[in-house]
Amino acid sequence: MNIIIAGCGKVGQKIVERLAIEEDHNITVIDYNPDVVTNLTSNYDIMGVVGDASDVDTLKEAGIKNSDILIAIMGSDELNMLTCLMAKKLGDCRTIARVRKPEHTRSIHVIKDELGLAMIVNPERAAASEIARILRFPSAIKIDTFAKGRVEILGFKVPEYSVLNNMKVSEVVLKLKCDVLICGVERENKAFIPDGNFVLKSGDNISIVASIKNGHAFFKKIGIKTDRVKDTIIVGGGDTAYYLANQLAETGIDVKIIEKDAARCDELCQLLPKADIIHGDGTEKHLLIEEGLADAESFVSLTNIDEENILLSLFAKTKTDGKIVTKVNRIEYDDVITNLNLGSVIYPKNITAEYIVRFVRAKKNSFGSNIEAMHYILDGKAEALEFRIGENSSVSATTLEKLQLKENILIACINRSNQIIIPRGKDTLTKGDTVIVVTTNSGYQDISDILK
C-alpha cells in the first residue's frame, strides 16, 4: 500500500519502522525539518518530502493522488485535521489524524464525520485506558482485550516462590484445573511461544489468554491478588491524568492528583469534582509521604519528564506495596527501562503506533478473514491478532492438529457466537468464528498467513 506519514517525531518514526520494515509498505514522509527527513530516508527504504503537509503542492509532491492512506501525526491537532481534509480533497485515500486536546475529544464524532476521517488517535486517552485496565487488575503488567471484551491476554511476572516455578506448560491446566492457555513467555529479553514441554521459571514474564472469569480464577489459584485497587495517587496533572481520573472515578476508585501548576490545579478542580487535587511538587519526597503514599494501593507517575517518572516510581517502590505504573515517552531506551522493574510501563507512542498499524493491516487483508484486533505482547516481541473467519477461509476445512502451521505460532482462543473456547487439537474453525493467534513473527494480514 502507498502510505504518507505527515509528521516525523517519535511516533512518526515508530510508525515508519513498523510499516516500512515489518509490514513492507511504500512509505513517503513529510516534515518541516530536513535533517529528520534525511535521517529517515537514509535509514529506511522510503521517500521523503520537506515542507508543510497541509500545503497542496507538498501533498502533490508526496504522491497524494496515488496514496491509499495518509497519517497526520504532527504536533498540532488543527494542522493534523487540516492536512487530512486537504488529502481527502486531493486524493481518494483514507485519513488518520492524531487529535489530543480534551476539548476536541468531546466533539470527536462530529469532527470524524465532518472531515471524513477513517480513524482518530488520542495517545493520552489510549494510555489512560490501558492504565485504568491495569489498576482494575493490579497483578497484571499488561492487559489486552479481544472478542469485544470477552477475552483478555494478561501479562504478569511469575513470583519467586510461585506454584508455577519449574512447572511444565502442559501441567498447568491439569494441576490447577483452570481453563487458560499460556501463550507467550519472555525470559532474559527473549520471547518464546511455548509448547507443552516448556518449563516455567520464577521471574518469567508470562502472557495467558482466558475469559475474564477464568483469568481471575487462575490468578487466585496461583495466589495472586485480583481485586481492583481502591485508590491511586497520580503525580502530574496533564491530559493523561485527566482522562485516567475520569475513567477511575466512574468505577468508584478514589483519585488524588498532585500538580505543581496552580492554574492547572484550578482547571482540574472544575473538570474532576470527584478527585482530590493537590497543589504541590510531586517530586518532593516529604509531600508524597504526607499525602499517604505508604498506604496507597497504586501510584502512577505521569509527569512530562521521563527521568522524573522513573525516579518517582523507584522511590514509590520503597514506600508502598501498591501497584506502580510509569509513563515513559522516549521509546529508544525500553530495554534498559525493562530491567529497572518499574511495574507496568506505559509508552503512549507505542500505543499510538499499535493502533495505526492495526488499522493499516486490517485494510490490506483479503476476503478470507478480517483482522478484528491486534496487540503487541511480551514487551513488543510478539503479536496477538484476532481474525474473523470468512466463508472461504483456508483454515476451516480441518482440525487444528492437522493444520500445517509455520513455526512460532499458537492458536490461542476461539470465540464462537460469544462462547469462549480454549482450543485443543480436535477443535475446528468455522465461518463467523474469531480466533486469536499469537506469534513472534510479524506482518500477518490474513489468517492464511499462519500456514506453511
Q: What are the pLDDT digits (tens) for 164-194?
A: 999 999 999 889 998 999 999 999 889 999 9
More confident position, 443 or 230: 230
Q: How sure is the predictor about 147, in pLDDT bands with cuts at 50, 70 and 90?
A: confident
Give residue 332's pLDDT.
67
Residue 358: is its pLDDT beyond 90? Answer: no
Residue 88: is its pLDDT beyond 60? Answer: yes
Residue 368: is its pLDDT beyond 70? Answer: no
Residue 139: is its pLDDT beyond 90? Answer: no
| Average pLDDT over all residues of the chain | 90
Residue 86: is its pLDDT beyond 60? Answer: yes
User: In this predicted model, what pLDDT tens digit does every residue of 201-212 receive, in sequence order?
Assistant: 999 999 999 998
Give residue 369's pLDDT.
47
More confident position, 337 or 155: 155
Residue 336: is its pLDDT beyond 90? Answer: no
Q: How sure is the predictor about 390, in pLDDT bands with cuts at 50, 70 and 90?
A: confident
What pTM was computed for the model? 0.82
Residue 365: is its pLDDT beyond 70? Answer: no
Q: Domains along the chain?
A: 2-121 (3.40.50.720), 128-221 (3.30.70.1450), 231-321 (3.40.50.720), 364-450 (3.30.70.1450)
Give residue 434's pLDDT.
92
3-state SS string over the chain?
CEEEEECCCHHHHHHHHHHHHHCCCEEEEEECCHHHHHHHHHHCCCEEEECCCCCHHHHHHCCHHHCCEEEECCCCHHHHHHHHHHHHHHCCCEEEEECCCHHHHCCHHHHHHHHCCCEEECHHHHHHHHHHHHHHCCCCCEEEEEHHHCEEEEEEECCCCCCCCCCEHHHHHHHHCCCCEEEEEEECCEEECCCCCCECCCCCEEEEEEEHHHHHHHHHHCCCCCCCCCEEEEECCCHHHHHHHHHHHHCCCEEEEEECCHHHHHHHHHHCCCCEEEECCCCCHHHHHHCCHHHCCEEEECCCCHHHHHHHHHHHHHHCCCEEEEECCCCCCHHHHHCCCCCEEECHHHHHHHHHHHHHHHHHCCCCEEEEEEEEECCCCEEEEEEEECCCCCCCCCEHHHCCECCCEEEEEEEECCEEECCCCCCECCCCCEEEEEECCCCCCCHHHHEC
User: In this predicted model, what pLDDT tens digit does every residue of 261-304 receive, in sequence order?
Assistant: 999 999 999 999 999 999 999 999 999 999 999 999 999 999 99
Give residue 112's pLDDT.
83
Give residue 325's pLDDT.
95
